[in-house]
Amino acid sequence: MRNYILSGIGILFIGFSIFFAKKLIDEKNKPKPIKEKVVKTVLTDTVVNSTIQIVIPANGSLIAKRRVEIYSEVEGIFKPSNILFKPGQEYRKGQTLIRVDASEYYSSVQSAKSNLYNDIAAIMPDLRLDFTDVFPKWEKYLSSFDLNKTTPELPKMTSDKENYFITGRGIVSSYYNVKNLEQRLSKYNIHAPFSGILTEALVTEGSLVRGGQKLGEFIDPSVYEMEVALSKSYASMLKVGETVKLTNLDKTETYTGHVSRVNGSVDATTQTITAYIDVKDNTLKEGLYLEAQLDARDEENAIEIDRGLLSESNEIFIVRDSLLDVMPAKPVYFSETKVVLKEVPNGTVILKKAVPGAYAGMLVKPFKTTDKTDDK
């Protein structure tokens, strides 16, 4: 019985071996599948050289073109007025911004004016006797002298004799002393140099104002200026008077400005040049951050493509007979996302979108789109 069992197992093992060997032989003789060549579909574009407008992006904050920092040259108590000295308050040109109490100083001015009047009145008898030809004009000056008004200018001297007499009596020196005091008195009232708005107030009514103390800031909100720093390579492109398109950060508002000034020197640290852009709009406020697009120049016979399509060796991929190839190009301007190229012949088929792993000799197939798709 044991022999029968072992014989059966041996026969089964031999049969399984023959079957397995035959299967291996059949698989070895089976023809290998032919791998199909992978052809990548790419987006292409045909080169048509044209005039490309080079636009330089820049950004900055608005500041008022006309602004005044208000300082006091005198000392005294800030007197209250009908208009509160507060940020946001509007003033017309010539309107009083600050009134400092000048009652004590005003008295000294009036005293000096009174002394001048008395000095002129004291010489009138002598003028009547010795200078009968000039007496009328001095009499007229004395009669028009008003202590409550600004001291009028002295009559013009017509002769050396008259000049020596008037000067010798101390009239001229007294006159200029009074004018100096009056000039000082005018500084107790600070007036608006132009129509504008108060943006900063550092004193309040009733407080003591000291000489040299900063009192606030006053601006003209009708015209703002934006300072932008550009690379020195753009210095030759900028022109005063060029129109500039400005937008806010949200791209919801658009403004039009003009290049008003271009700095004549390059910043040695940053190697940039500063340009100033004027912009007018009632909705603008000082400190608003805007982005600018400066039209620098027009580049003829050029194309504009994505920066990612230009290699570090200044070469671009082109499609020639369904194969990728490389062609040298001359970049003339780089922006954040685009590059302007020259010396690319018309009719050259180039890649419109970068292809991962692209190399010269790679088999590709241009993607064909309908006109309807292109319009989209």
pLDDT at res. 370 = 45
Give residue for tokens 């020195």: 232
pLDDT at res. 93 = 94
- Say how far apart CA 185 and CA 2 lie, in whole Å: 140
- Say how far apart CA 158 and CA 127 lie, in whole Å: 14
* Per-residue pLDDT of the chain in tens (376 residues, 90 and over written 9): 777 777 777 777 777 777 777 776 766 655 555 555 667 888 888 899 998 888 778 888 999 999 999 999 999 999 988 888 999 999 999 999 999 999 889 999 999 999 999 999 999 998 888 888 888 999 999 999 988 889 999 999 888 888 898 898 899 999 999 999 999 999 999 999 999 999 999 999 888 999 999 999 999 999 999 998 887 777 777 778 888 889 988 888 899 999 898 888 888 888 888 889 999 998 899 999 999 887 777 788 899 999 888 888 889 999 888 888 999 988 888 877 888 898 889 998 998 888 888 888 888 888 865 444 344 3
pLDDT at res. 372 = 41
The pTM is what?
0.65
**Between vectors from CA 193 to CA 188 and to CA 199, what angle results, nearest 5°?**
90
pLDDT at res. 376 = 38
